[in-house]
Amino acid sequence: MATHRGEETYERILREAELCFARYGYDATGVAEICERAGVSKGAFYHHFPSKAAVFEALLSRWLEGLDAQLQQIRAQAGSAPAAILHMAGMIPVIFRIAEGRLPIFLEFWSKAIREPEVWHATISHFQRYRAFFSDLIRAGISAGDFQHVQPELAAQMLISLAVGLILQGLLEPNKKEDWETLTQEAVRLLMTSWGWKGDAQD
């Protein structure tokens, strides 16, 4: 019973924190306000989260869980590294749905990462995880002969930078009539060509 109540409290804090962050901004939202809206004491808050940044980190991890699962599934089912990367590039609409309405929170949180070590660690850990994921995938492509003369870590960084840039552009210009899925896949094709990729990826 106590565990169930603890889970309910945890979820209530996350839910109300997300609403506060979206309405007032991350910086303007205090722990006291989250506690008041969630109907919990500060002691209960700090039992579950050591800081406000930890709440955002938990929210970010939850938002990315579905994306991570799809990336892993695509990698497992794709016939080659290029095929996997192109399929992943086609997921841009899914990423837009995850980020929709949360862009101001992301931007504010990332800007704080420059000044606050705790926020920086919470933010950079996801980039490091995706860089490791794509480095490993590109390394598999090199072993299979799909890519040549490329450093996996550098190539992964290029891929992530391309994806982040396109995502931000799409979210900042929501009314722009652009086929972001096709644009992303074509950009990825050009990038993979620079890695020595010679042809169309097959499933």
Report how far residue 29's alpha carbon sits from residue 32's, in angstroms, rounded to the nearest whole number: 8
Per-residue pLDDT of the chain (203 residues; tens, 9 = 90+): 456 678 999 999 999 999 998 888 888 999 999 999 999 999 999 999 999 989 988 988 888 888 899 999 999 999 999 999 999 998 887 787 777 777 777 777 778 778 888 778 877 888 899 999 999 999 999 999 999 989 999 999 999 999 888 888 877 776 776 788 888 999 999 999 999 998 764 44
The distance from CA 50 to its chain's CA centroid, rounded to whole angstroms, is: 22
Superfamily of domain 1-49: Homeodomain-like (1.10.10.60)
* Domain 1-49 matches domain 51-194 at the CATH topology level: no
**23: its two tokens:** 């309405």
User: Residues 191, 195, 199, CA angle at the centre, nearest 5°?
Assistant: 80
DSSP letter (8 states) at residue 149 = S
User: On the CB side of 99, how many CA atoms lie within 13 Å of its CA?
Assistant: 20
Distance between CA 80 and CA 24 in Å, rounded?
45
CA nearest neighbour of 134 among 145, 149, 147, 123 = 147
CA pair distance 163, 159, nearest whole angstrom: 6
Spans of all domains in the chain = 1-49, 51-194
Q: In the CATH scheme, what architecture does the domain 51-194 have?
A: Orthogonal Bundle (1.10)
